[in-house]
């Protein structure tokens, strides 16, 4: 198979498996999505989805959030990990949103990445999922699968993102990054990996990974 054939097979398979794509993090608007994505750093979506209802019951807007102290936010979000840093980020960005953006989440990468505790991946998720702007946020699942599929050398998430954007049609980026995440969780995990269930890797994966298996 040529690389073009492999890309086409991957897209077709993911679209067949995930015709409707659930959003991993529960939210109701761009602000609550931003907060949820920030909280998800080095945590799991399941854990974050258990904690965000507790936080949003107290504060689901920037105006409400800055009425809480950093310590109050930290106490609520402690189970997701890194709570000292995340609580400062949540409080700080909420204050900036009120001061500079009338309480609204800005709809551009540069402004988002200037907010406390908001990196490129977080900004990309918000741009893609809240505003429908083409982006390709790379998490551990995407980084792993792009390497397994031979689509990237896997040396850094920055390179993986570049490779993904180069290989996949721009109009499919927002769907594909979610489809690959779900596929990685269900069919191609880092641990307990069964290549016989991993239909994409078994078909197109790197030869070093496929050694001993039949295509």
The predicted-structure confidence for 35-69, as pLDDT tens digits, reads as follows 999 999 999 999 999 999 999 999 999 999 999 99
Q: What is the pLDDT of residue 213?
A: 58
Q: What is the pLDDT of residue 94?
A: 98
For residues 112 and 122, the answer to whether their CB atoms sit within 8 Å is yes
Same domain, 88 and 177: no
Same domain, 115 and 50: yes
Low-confidence ranges of the chain (pLDDT < 50): 214-215
> Within a domain: residue 198?
yes
Same domain, 102 and 188: no
Same domain, 125 and 141: no
Q: What is the pLDDT of residue 207?
A: 82
Total structural domains within the chain: 2
CATH label of the domain that carries residue 196? 1.10.1670.10
Q: Which of 165, 187, 188 is nearest to 177 (CA)?
A: 165
> Within a domain: residue 162?
yes
Q: End-to-end CA distance of the chain: give it in Å, rounded.
A: 12
Q: Say if residue 214 is exposed, middle or buried (CB neighbours under 10 Å; 0-12, 13-18, 19+).
A: exposed
> Within a domain: residue 215?
no
Q: Output the CA torsion sign for 122, 128, 134, 136.
A: positive
Q: What is the pLDDT of residue 212?
A: 58
> Within a domain: residue 58?
yes
Same domain, 34 and 124: yes
Which residues constitute the domain of residue 37? 30-131
- As annotated, the active-site residues are 121, 139
């Amino acid at each position: 198979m040529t690389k073009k054939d492999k890309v086409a097979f991957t897209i077709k398979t993911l679209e067949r498996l995930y015709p409707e794509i659930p959003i991993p993090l529960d939210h109701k608007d761009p602000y609550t999505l931003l907060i949820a994505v920030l909280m998800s750093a080095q945590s799991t979506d399941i854990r974050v989805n258990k904690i965000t209802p507790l936080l949003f019951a107290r504060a689901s807007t920037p105006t409400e959030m800055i009425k809480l102290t950093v310590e109050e936010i930290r106490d609520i979000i402690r189970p997701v990990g890194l709570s000292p840093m995340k609580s400062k980020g949540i409080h700080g960005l909420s204050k900036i949103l009120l001061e500079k953006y009338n309480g609204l989440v800005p709809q551009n990468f540069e402004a988002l990445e200037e907010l406390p505790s908001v990196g490129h991946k977080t900004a990309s998720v918000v741009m893609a999922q809240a505003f429908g702007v083409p982006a390709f946020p790379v998490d551990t699942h995407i980084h792993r699968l792009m390497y397994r599929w031979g689509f990237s050398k896997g040396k850094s998430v920055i390179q993986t993102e570049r490779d993904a954007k180069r290989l996949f049609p721009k109009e499919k980026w927002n769907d594909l990054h979610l489809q690959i995440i779900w596929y990685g969780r269900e069919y191609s995990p880092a641990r307990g990996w069964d290549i016989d269930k991993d239909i994409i890797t078994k078909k197109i994966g790197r030869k070093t990974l496929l050694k001993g298996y039949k295509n």
